[in-house]
């Protein structure tokens, strides 16, 4: 491994001069600087990150924690994060699993964005307490070193429920996410509230877990109980797609017999026929905003919690009731 020491030797100067030259410090002559830079390039010198991190106490790397790597859904969110971070001179790395939690306390990364409900809030709080900067997207966590960037789940759920009610439906299934999910809880709570405002609406809850499989299971239950047209609010699109496919295979007519609305507006929703109604928000913006908040936290700029707004996307999957 070639270090500034090697360059110094070759250039016949001291290591500090090399360091200055490499860092563009105007203290050194144009001439010496040019010579040093040339030698550095010739030896293709690359600074050692560990040494730099040790000295500067910052690695310029941000980690994002995901529950798993299957993230079809997270692609855009991550893209949004990366763009902002790179622009600010930071690298983004994606981590998953508790094994990687060490990266933060060991100071391998300067901060983290959390989108992984299997990462315990207590552990996060401890990290925050130790001075680590965090942005959480999937829970509430109040600490000066933690910022929250949440979806406006409540507004979204209310929009969805009001939409189907407005369309004339009076029997409504709600397929939930997993127990631990913050998003699911929020959406469910708001959905219930919206339903309660319409006392003539009958409502049935089905427990799901945000996977396509759980949507399929829900479909089976719904088909078994089927007597008259009903509406189904799946708390995410993944489940809505599973539900949708299963019902279509069983020759149910979506948008006539069974009306479906999802949440997230994942890419797949566009391909269903009729189109799946859903709740949309900018995933890219979600990631971008999370990154910006984290950078601010790291720079010591005061920040407020942020919110990503959502809109309703109508679709043929919800017809007139």
Partner DNA sequence: TTGTAGGCGTTATCAG
Partner DNA sequence: CTGATAACGCCTACAA
Q: Which positions touch DNA (CB under 7 A)?
A: 1, 3-5, 12-17, 19-20, 22-23, 27-29, 31-33, 45-48, 51-52, 54-57
- Residues constituting the chain: 321
CA distance 266 to 269: 6
Q: Which of 7, 92, 190, 232 binds a second copy (CB under 8 A)?
A: 92
Determine, following the binding rule CB under 8 A, whether residue 257 of this chain makes contact with a second copy: no
Q: Which does 178 bind (CB under 5 to 8 A by kind): DNA, a second copy, none?
A: none
Helix, strand or coil, per DSSP, at residue 220: helix
Q: Which does 100 bind (CB under 5 to 8 A by kind): DNA, a second copy, none?
A: a second copy
Q: Which of 24, 199, 271, 300 binds a second copy (CB under 8 A)?
A: 271
Residue number, 80 or 229, with CB nearest to a second copy: 80
Q: Which does 304 bind (CB under 5 to 8 A by kind): a second copy, DNA, none?
A: none
Q: Which of 24, 31, 41, 99 binds a second copy (CB under 8 A)?
A: 99
Q: Which of 15, 22, 103, 125 binds a second copy (CB under 8 A)?
A: 103
**In the complex, least distance from residue 28 CB atom to DNA, rounded to whole angstroms:** 3
Q: Which does 76 bind (CB under 5 to 8 A by kind): DNA, a second copy, none?
A: a second copy
CA distance 25 to 33: 9
Q: Chain centroid to CA 117: how far?
A: 11
**Which residues are 135's β-sheet partners?**
113, 147
From the list 235, 274, 259, the residue with the least C-alpha distance to 154 is 235
Q: Which does 180 bind (CB under 5 to 8 A by kind): a second copy, DNA, none?
A: none
Which regions of 176-281 does DSSP assign to beta strands (E)?
202-206, 230-234, 258-261, 278-280
CA distance 185 to 189: 6
CA distance 145 to 118: 20
Choose one: 45-53, 139-147, 192-200, 251-259; the region binding a second copy (CB under 8 A).
45-53
Residue number, 110 or 183, with CB nearest to DNA: 110
User: H or E segment at 133?
Assistant: strand 133-136
- Are 254 and 247 spatial neighbours (Cβ–Cβ below 8 Å)? yes
Residue number, 76 or 207, with CB nearest to a second copy: 76
CA dist 65 → 77, 85, 102, 292 (Å): 12, 15, 12, 17
Residues in binding contact with a second copy, number by CB under 8 A? 50
Q: What is the DSSP string of 164-185?
A: HHHTT--EEEEE---TT-HHHH
**In the complex, least distance from residue 76 CB atom to DNA, rounded to whole angstroms:** 34
Site string for a second copy, 219-248 (x = CB under 8 A): --------------------------x---
CA dist 265 → 125, 157, 158, 261 (Å): 32, 13, 16, 10
Structure tokens at 77: 């969110």
**In the complex, least distance from residue 90 CB atom to DNA, rounded to whole angstroms:** 16
Q: How do strand 278-280 and strand 311-313 relate by DSSP bridges?
A: antiparallel
Residue number, 34 or 50, with CB nearest to a second copy: 50
Q: Which of 3, 32, 67, 79 binds a second copy (CB under 8 A)?
A: 79
Q: Which residues bind a second copy (CB under 8 A)?
A: 1, 44, 46-54, 57, 59, 61, 63, 68-72, 74-76, 78-79, 82, 86, 91-97, 99-100, 102-103, 105-108, 126, 130-131, 212, 245, 249, 271, 273
């Amino acid at each position: 491994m070639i270090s500034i020491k090697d360059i110094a030797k070759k250039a016949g100067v001291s290591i500090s001069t090399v360091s200055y030259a490499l860092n563009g410090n105007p203290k050194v002559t144009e001439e010496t600087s040019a010579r040093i830079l040339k030698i550095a390039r010739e030896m293709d010198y690359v600074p050692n990150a560990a040494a730099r991190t040790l000295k500067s106490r910052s690695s310029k790397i941000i980690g994002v924690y995901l529950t798993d790597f299957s993230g079809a859904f997270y692609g855009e969110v991550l893209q949004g994060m990366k763009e902002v971070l790179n622009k600010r001179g930071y690298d983004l790395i994606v981590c998953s699993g508790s094994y990687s939690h060490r990266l933060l306390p060991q100071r391998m990364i300067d901060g983290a964005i959390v989108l992984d409900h299997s990462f315990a809030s207590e552990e996060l709080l401890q990290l925050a307490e130790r001075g680590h900067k965090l942005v959480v997207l999937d829970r509430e966590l109040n600490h000066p070193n933690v910022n929250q960037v949440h979806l406006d789940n409540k507004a979204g759920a209310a929009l969805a429920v009001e939409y189907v009610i407005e369309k004339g439906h009076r029997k409504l299934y709600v397929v939930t996410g997993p127990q631990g999910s913050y998003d699911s809880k929020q959406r469910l709570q708001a959905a219930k509230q919206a339903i309660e405002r319409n006392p003539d609406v009958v409502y049935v809850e089905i427990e799901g877990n945000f996977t396509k499989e759980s949507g399929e299971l829900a479909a089976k239950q719904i088909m078994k109980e089927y007597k008259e047209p009903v509406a189904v609010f799946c708390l995410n699109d993944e489940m809505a797609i599973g539900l949708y496919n299963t019902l279509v295979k069983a020759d149910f007519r979506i948008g006539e017999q069974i009306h479906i609305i999802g949440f997230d507006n994942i890419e797949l929703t566009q391909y269903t026929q009729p189109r799946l109604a859903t709740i949309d928000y900018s995933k890219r913006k979600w990631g971008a905003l999370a990154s910006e908040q984290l950078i601010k936290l790291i720079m010591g700029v005061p920040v407020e919690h942020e919110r990503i707004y959502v809109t309703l996307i109508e679709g043929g999957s919800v017809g007139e009731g």
